Structure 1
Amino acid sequence: MMIARNWKYSSGHVSIFKIAFVAMLVVLSVAPQSGYAQEQMSIAGLTEPVNDVLLSFETDGKLAKIYFKEGGRVKKGDTIMALNKWFEELEVQRNKLIWQGKAEIKSAMEREKTLKALFESTRELYEKTKSVSKDELEKLELEYKLAAAEHERLEIAEKREHIEYDMARAKLAKLVLRSPVTGIISELAVDEGESCESRQPVVRVVDTSRCRLVCNIEASLGIKFKEKQKVDLEIQAGSGSIQKTGKIIFISPVVDPASGLYRVKAEFENKNHEIKPGVEGFLLIPAP
């Protein structure tokens, strides 16, 4: 079990000067197929992965095992690390044995069944022939009701034991940290044998197969965007750049009063991992 928090790039907490720089517009001239020049805007922004999470344990403990190294690829649900859990594993086994022990319930059920049949046959005999006394009939009825009550008590106890078994399993699960996404382990903050505190970030998992370009745009330009709108992107890759087709997934409903900018996010595929999130990119749109 773990606590996952989205990792925020430092671009989300930059100065007004930095925001203004990121929002800077560069006017380029391109030649379309018709042969006529068309002005195009390049709106600068920064890339980030869609899935970027910090994981924490929900409880304190000593780290017993790390199953992946930094840079290792994990699938959703893979166990990344685990705290010492031998005591909790014993508790799970103990509660499971108690819950699965059905001998007492089976015995009580058979006793109830036997006494019920005996009581009903004796009552029929009493009503038809009076060959048994009323005291004997009442005694059998009392024994039958006591057996039924005991059976019911054991059924309730069995449900309680099942709940205690589930609670022990849930407690054990909190000592195991599993990846909530398929991705790459980009950072391990602890080593085996170290103590971990509850909610202390211990590992970061990043999925770079899908990324976003985050741009801050001057509201005064009057550029109109729509969600799910396809846009052309140019993303830095090494010493060059790569052309991508993105889709607008977020348009801020408000403008930052200090800078006059609003935020737009465009998502794009990066299945070949050719782009490293955090680099600069450009949103290319026709000039208004």
Structure 2
Amino acid sequence: MRDIFCLATTFLILPNLLLAATVAVGVTEPITTVSLSMTETGRVETITVTEGSRVIAGASLIILDRRIEELDRRSKKIALEDRSAITELEERINILSDQLEKARTLLADGGVSHKQVQDEQIALMTAQSQLLALREKKRREAIDFDLAEENYERRQLLAPTEGIVTQINVAIGETVTPQETIIELVNVSEIKFRGNFSVADEGRFEEGQDATLRVWQNGQELQRHAVVVYVAPVADPSSGLIEVIAKIENQDLSVIPGTTAELIDTRQDVQ
């Protein structure tokens, strides 16, 4: 059963006019909370963060032992970068092409036979086929190197988003398995408000509208600009409450998520 929040009424005082503002009561949440795990089994070699570390998206968090993957990557890279056989064949093809042209010139003067010209053509075609095969081999080696790179990179855990590390469940030297949660990452640079307002209220929140978040923490009241991103299309039949969700910028981390808050519709419809 959905939680039922107590509703409050806020009044906007204007000269000679008292307006009741629609208020939703709810809680603040981090914009994302992510449980991270490895995709490979392995022994933890390096932990680059501690609990409380603030990281950016793409930051390295944990590295598994990957000496075997490193050796495989280096081996594949050496094979891919070795172009000596291709260079040799390209030079040979240039020589054979010159020889074929000279043989054709001599054939016109009767200096060589048709058989000699055909032999030169066959030698050139063979070298060209060998060069084509070597280039195809290099393409396969490029794919092998990409796979080796991928296997190497999969041995480290990267942050999928910016945030703060709140929990580390592994130590250096321990073995981890796939799908085992080893790090909790919370992004509080943006806050989500989730609450309810009464269907009986005169006003109604609308998606995309501006609103004000009011929260009490550390003995003081904080107010922040909010944008409504979701309003439930139906009310809860047992309580008559409508769910509303809003987002609030929190780059300075001044709002601590997990606290009770109010979302106030500050629009004023004055005749």
1:236 equivalent in alignment to 2:216: yes
Contact 1:237 1:274 in 2 (8 A): no
Provide the C-alpha distance between the structure 2 equivalents of 1:257 and 1:63, rounded to a whole number of angstroms. Answer: 51
Map 1:259-274 to 2 at 5 A: 260-274=240-254
1:157 equivalent in alignment to 2:129: no
Q: Deviations over 1:183-241 (max 9, x none)?
A: 21111122222221112221122221210111133445474332220012211312332
Structural RMSD (CA): 2.2
Provide the C-alpha distance between the structure 2 equivalents of 1:61 and 1:256, rounded to a whole number of angstroms. Answer: 48
- CA drift at 1:285: 2.9
Provide the C-alpha distance between the structure 2 equivalents of 1:163 and 1:219, rounded to a whole number of angstroms. Answer: 60
Aligned AA for 1:100?
A: E
Contact 2:21 2:203 in 1 (8 A): no
Aligned AA for 2:18?
A: A
1:109 equivalent in alignment to 2:90: yes
Provide the C-alpha distance between the structure 1 equivalents of 2:16 and 2:182, rounded to a whole number of angstroms. Answer: 56
TM-score (norm. length: structure 1): 0.85
Contact 2:13 2:19 in 1 (8 A): yes
1:182 equivalent in alignment to 2:162: yes
Residue in 1 that maps onto 2:100 = 119
Residue of structure 2 aligned with 1:226, choices 181, 206, 214: 206
Residue of structure 2 aligned with 1:58, choices 24, 29, 39: 39
Rate the CA distance shift 1:267–1:164 in 2: closer, same or farther, 3 A: same
- CA drift at 1:70: 0.2
1:133 equivalent in alignment to 2:123: no
1:88 equivalent in alignment to 2:75: no
Q: Secondary structure at the match of 2:8?
A: strand
Residue of structure 2 aligned with 1:215, choices 183, 186, 195: 195
Provide the C-alpha distance between the structure 2 equivalents of 1:189 and 1:222, rounded to a whole number of angstroms. Answer: 49
Rate the CA distance shift 1:220–1:114 in 2: closer, same or farther, 3 A: farther
Q: Deviations over 1:256-278 (max 9, x none)?
A: 56655443211112222122111
Residue in 1 that maps onto 2:8 = 26
Residue in 2 that maps onto 1:204 = 184
TM-score (norm. length: structure 2): 0.90
1:279 equivalent in alignment to 2:259: yes
Further displaced range: 148-157 or 222-231: 222-231
Q: Secondary structure at the match of 1:37?
A: strand
Q: Secondary structure at the match of 2:151?
A: helix
| Identical pairs, percent | 24
Provide the C-alpha distance between the structure 2 equivalents of 1:94 and 1:207, rounded to a whole number of angstroms. Answer: 40
- The number of aligned residues is 268
Q: Secondary structure at the match of 2:120?
A: helix
